[in-house]
Structure 1
């Protein structure tokens, strides 16, 4: 049976990938298809999905800046949107119930409020997966979306704790002492090296945090997140996150498949789920309007809103507990499962087109923008330099240092992670904050004297978009980029990039070129 799951999941994921949809859409379809065929899941599928969610929250914690949660646009963005969604859903439920629509007519006020609470959550799994695939986890809109998701997850944990039969024990107060373990955790990370022991250490820490929180009556997912935050300041946190990437993605396939096994729907249930799916643009629109009122730029608000335009697995948990407590009929659990699955498809497609949609609607969306700018949304100028290096990770930093120190070329680095830009500046490099896919950023840049722009971003789709933006902004110089695979190299050359370096294929040539002088020394 396990082989059947893998076979169907692979076939469905492969097919949707061929039409440029994320494979997770195929995994969702596989789950519903297997259920329709009468396949019965065993406990291993649920276990696999739980492991995936635990690792997902752990990897989020590794990149989380706790202080960001106290920013107004984060906590007010989450709380304000959630309140409006609950009130709006209660009104809509009452309206549909008044006209006698199936499944709404029997709802009381408390039931309608619970449904509103369930649909107010956005999926951490989907949003993070989309942001990771687009290489936007550290972008401004990515950080805002993650912050809002964490606030929502905390609200979900509080609800589960209050509504379930299991209450936290007094031992839960001891969790306040967890920061005292940070030196021991840092020592553990340091001694694990860079091999296979490092990802195993990550899995061990994630599950240890989950087990610890479960023991004291709290949600295990929160424990994985908290432990990750404790080690997030360590120098190996980014390396650990990358080492867990494949494990997390593999385990999450179980989560997506399990959605389809929740229950088989009737046509009435599907009709209600479609109504809830149609409301997704409204959910995204409310996020956009509210975030612009909180002084975020139109582009940041729009891309954040699309990242959160889905329903959450936590909504299923809310419905499940509500059904157990007799507050909702069991049909609502099936309806919510269908709504979540449909929202995953909607969100995946919408986020694939997000930058293209913003480019098409820029003039209309900017009308909603608050004229006041937050400090984090103000761009710096690179100054009089010959070369711009976009993406100051390891590759970009290495290129910058060579240009500046060995070739005597004036350069400026650009990175979408403000904290990374600040760290480089403190180290003496000329690095500014900026998002290379943002047309407003390039429209403010003075290209006078800039001869070359080097793209050292990890996602070749981001490079394609950035190349398009600088062409629209009127840049007449040369561009160079990195790529991991030969087909990516060809696509970047077709997009107008003048030189593409395949650092997998050409690393050996660079290594030989740097070392050949040793032969002459003998």
Structure 2
């Protein structure tokens, strides 16, 4: 038995590694490779897995670790910064996608209860896949990414509610009082976990973090222990693991815990997706291909259209709306976890599980390309997306305005330029496509233009060639090249142009195009910090003065609702 299990396990891991290598070559998310591995080792092909109970146990551990680390990474700062659009798009998209998906599934002949499960599952998008792709693409600080992260956090909250609700409803309790009692028990249990984490683990924290191994062991014990506790009280393991992670999200060592748990989590989550793939039967595959294609189209087309409509109504530009919509055009790990929960409760059969799994494969595969090539797609689709933009917010193309100083981007880097321009006598304007920043500029009575710098017609309306200084804090290389092309006259001396870049290669290309100075934030920050250190060495009295000035500067930034960018890692 032990030898047979070891052989099965070894073969599965070897095949998973080979398929993962193929996915890397094809630039596809590894989740697709893991499900394909399941198809290969399952009854569809090699039929290697015979000890399915052991693999199922490992997959449940993977789910627990995944949700525990998702809880650890919940970042309330993103919700604070983009709370309104995150809440409206998050809730609105889930409700509308669920409704459209439910109608489509019922028309396909799927019964009501499974259709409800599947339609809800289709509404969720993959945090891990989205963040991995935007990190690889270098778009983590772009507006659409920030909105998508806030949107996904709202989905996480909805997920928590669902994980609580489904086992309660499935318990068969028909008394309203008994159902209310179950929810109260869940709330009391959650509060108890948070209080224990704050007052007991909080006091133990300094002692625990002295040893990395001890911290790792305690974190594992906490995550799995709370998952088991919730299971014993009649709730799901998934709920307990997620709550356990959230309860530790504010402790100082959460990043170290997350970093140490990630390899363990990734190993077990591989087995979860392998088991999902292996559960797909030959007969099921033949019968679900057409429905899976139809449902995939609902996800790939319906979700972006819903998001673009909501964001357009809220005043966002069509470029931002389209990129956000493309980012979430897939189903998530939670979708598969939700369906697996439905299977365990007897609400979903294997055929319906295969339908969702195949839909996941299709949507993740296609959405990868939608995210990676969203800029190119925008160039082709832009003329057809005007319907997703509020007419009263579209620029007046025929009105030519002239400014001495033009600033693209009024947030973090732009803040200091705005203060400098205010001290000058020249006329200046700030260009931004974020409605939140535009509202802030309105309050401060600063000249602004709400527009998209990738729109050539909009750029031409600004008369860039007649400006004295143009500053672009936009991190997008192609947009900066467009600004340079529009701002530099061919024959006469034009404006001085400054831009931002995030690679030396792009900085040198911008210099070749005629940019006067390229800002590389990390290099510039290091140079500035070294100058401050030089002052400290020259005279100790400089320390308190510089420290005091910087604190006041940070407080001014905070009043404006700004925060230094932090890259949260969802691996």
Task: Give TM class, smaller chain.
Answer: 0.5 to 0.7
Higher percent of residues as helix: 2
Distance 1:204 1:500 in 2: 49
Match of 2:146 among 124, 139, 150: 139
Match of 2:234 among 192, 217, 239: 217
Q: Which residue of 1 aligns with 2:562?
A: none
* TM-score of the superposed pair, with normalisation by structure 1: 0.67
**Cα distance, 1:190–1:75 mapped onto 2, change above 3 Å:** farther
Match of 2:129 among 115, 126, 129: 126
- Mean alpha-carbon deviation: is it higher for 328-337 or for 131-140? 131-140
Superposition CA RMSD, Å: 5.6
Deviation at 1:367, TM superposition (A): 2.2
Q: Which residue of 1 aligns with 2:568?
A: none
Deviation at 1:314, TM superposition (A): 4.0
Q: Which residue of 2 aligns with 1:80?
A: 96
**Mapped pair 1:151 → 2:166:** no
**Cα distance, 1:207–1:179 mapped onto 2, change above 3 Å:** closer
**Cα distance, 1:452–1:256 mapped onto 2, change above 3 Å:** same
Q: Which residue of 1 aligns with 2:273?
A: 259
**Cα distance, 1:61–1:31 mapped onto 2, change above 3 Å:** farther
* Conserved? CA contact 2:453–2:483, under 8 Å: no
Deviation at 1:319, TM superposition (A): 4.0
**Cα distance, 1:446–1:183 mapped onto 2, change above 3 Å:** farther
DSSP 3-state at the match of 2:383: helix
Distance 1:246 1:196 in 2: 13
Q: Which residue of 2 aligns with 1:362?
A: 382
Greater Cα radius of gyration, structure 1 or 2: 2
Match of 1:283 among 275, 299, 303: 299
* Conserved? CA contact 1:140–1:417, under 8 Å: no
Match runs of 1:138-287 below 5 Å: 139-148=146-155, 150-151=157-158, 154-155=161-162, 157-163=164-170, 168=182, 171-175=185-189, 177=191, 181=195, 184=198, 188=202, 210=227, 213-222=230-239, 240=254, 244=258, 247-248=261-262, 251-252=265-266, 254-262=268-276, 263=278, 265-271=280-286, 272-273=288-289, 275-287=291-303
CA deviation vs aligned residue, 1:265-319 (integer Å, no higher than 9, x gap): 4554334245413532333433344345541444444333323322344444454
Q: Which residue of 2 aligns with 1:464?
A: 477
CA deviation vs aligned residue, 1:465-506 (integer Å, no higher than 9, x gap): 5435545765765445454xxxx5325544778566778889
Distance 1:408 1:231 in 2: 48
* Conserved? CA contact 1:311–1:343, under 8 Å: yes
**Mapped pair 1:303 → 2:323:** yes
Match of 1:17 among 18, 24, 29: 24
DSSP 3-state at the match of 2:385: helix
- Mean alpha-carbon deviation: is it higher for 511-520 or for 275-284? 511-520
Distance 1:71 1:467 in 2: 32
Q: Which residue of 1 aligns with 2:472?
A: 453
Deviation at 1:176, TM superposition (A): 6.9
**Cα distance, 1:11–1:335 mapped onto 2, change above 3 Å:** same
**Cα distance, 1:408–1:216 mapped onto 2, change above 3 Å:** farther
Deviation at 1:350, TM superposition (A): 2.0
**Cα distance, 1:511–1:469 mapped onto 2, change above 3 Å:** same
**Mapped pair 1:48 → 2:78:** no
**Cα distance, 1:469–1:7 mapped onto 2, change above 3 Å:** farther
* Conserved? CA contact 1:213–1:219, under 8 Å: yes
DSSP 3-state at the match of 2:234: coil
* Conserved? CA contact 2:469–2:497, under 8 Å: no
Match runs of 1:292-371 below 5 Å: 292-294=308-310, 295-296=313-314, 297=316, 298-324=318-344, 326-371=346-391
DSSP 3-state at the match of 2:323: helix
* Conserved? CA contact 1:437–1:466, under 8 Å: yes
Deviation at 1:144, TM superposition (A): 3.4
Distance 2:85 2:195 in 1: 23
Deviation at 1:226, TM superposition (A): 5.4
**Cα distance, 1:301–1:130 mapped onto 2, change above 3 Å:** same
**Cα distance, 1:363–1:308 mapped onto 2, change above 3 Å:** same
- Mean alpha-carbon deviation: is it higher for 199-208 or for 312-321? 199-208
